[in-house]
Structure 1
Amino acid sequence: MLLTQPDHYERWDAMERTERDEFFAGLTRFADAVAERGSVVAGEGLAHHAQARTLGPGPDRTVTDGPFAEAAEQLGGFYLVDLPDLGTAVELARLLPDQITVELRPAVVE
């Protein structure tokens, strides 16, 4: 589960303490619900995108500052969850704070 939001870091910096507390309460409700149906394998918020470095493709692997994607939405965090199926993941993702977009993608396990 990838958590994105347009201008995520600017919005976060502008939030009042009560708004942040509500946001974290939503994350806690989500984690509790996942624990009832599966498990949270990993999850973290990510540092500001200005701290990111991207290595390009090719033999030289050119390093550039920031994220590579030219997108308005910024990746703010992720959850790696172990759940029975995609339907359950969709159901539980609806519990995350509604200010963010959630992309669900199965992990490749071989």
Structure 2
Amino acid sequence: MKFLVLMAEEDTWNRWSALSDAEQEQVFDQFTAFTEAVKARGSVLAGEALDRPESGRTVRPGPDRAVTEGPYAETVEQLGGFWLVDLPDLDAAVEAATLLPAAYSVEVRPVVDMGD
């Protein structure tokens, strides 16, 4: 089964910049532990860090499809990155997600199989 693992943290980019090199390395070690745990039971299909919310654009609903600067929703937590993983079940995905840094809220969501 495919799962999207979303990572969010309050003020994630400023907090990241404030970390020392050693602290950033510890975070990367946790990312590596997650990746290795997934690979042991399934596979990592994709994963990327995201740029700051203000660098993006949102296409709003409605007939005119207005485009606004920034994220979809105003929130203190900012989506900082994601993984798309293939694991046997939701329990395995959640178990692996617990290896990610505790500073992040981590959402694990099944991907709907839309067929070919």
The alignment yields a C-alpha RMSD, in angstroms, of 0.7
Q: Per residue, is there more strand in 1 or in 2?
A: 2
Deviations 1:32-85 (A, max 9, x none): 110000001100000111101000001211010100211110000000000000
Alignment-derived partner of residue 10 in structure 2: 6
Task: Pick one of 44, 65, 82 that aligns with 1:78.
Answer: 82
User: Is 1:23 aligned with 2:7?
Assistant: no
Q: Structure 2: which 5+ runs fail to align?
A: none
- The runs of at least 4 aligned residues of structure 1 exceeding 3 Å deviation read none
Task: Select 2:68's aligned residue among 64, 70, 93.
Answer: 64
Give the TM-score normalised by structure 1. 0.97
Distance 1:22 1:59 in 2: 47
The structural deviation recorded for 1:99 is 1.1
Q: Distance in 2 between matches of 1:104 and 1:33?
A: 15
Q: Distance in 2 between matches of 1:39 and 1:75?
A: 22
**TM-score of the pair, normalised by structure 2:** 0.92
Partner of 2:110, secondary structure, is: coil
- Match of 1:108, SS state, is coil
> 2-side partners of 1:9 and 1:83: how far apart?
29
How far apart are residue 10 of structure 1 and its match? 1.1
SS across alignment from 1:104: strand
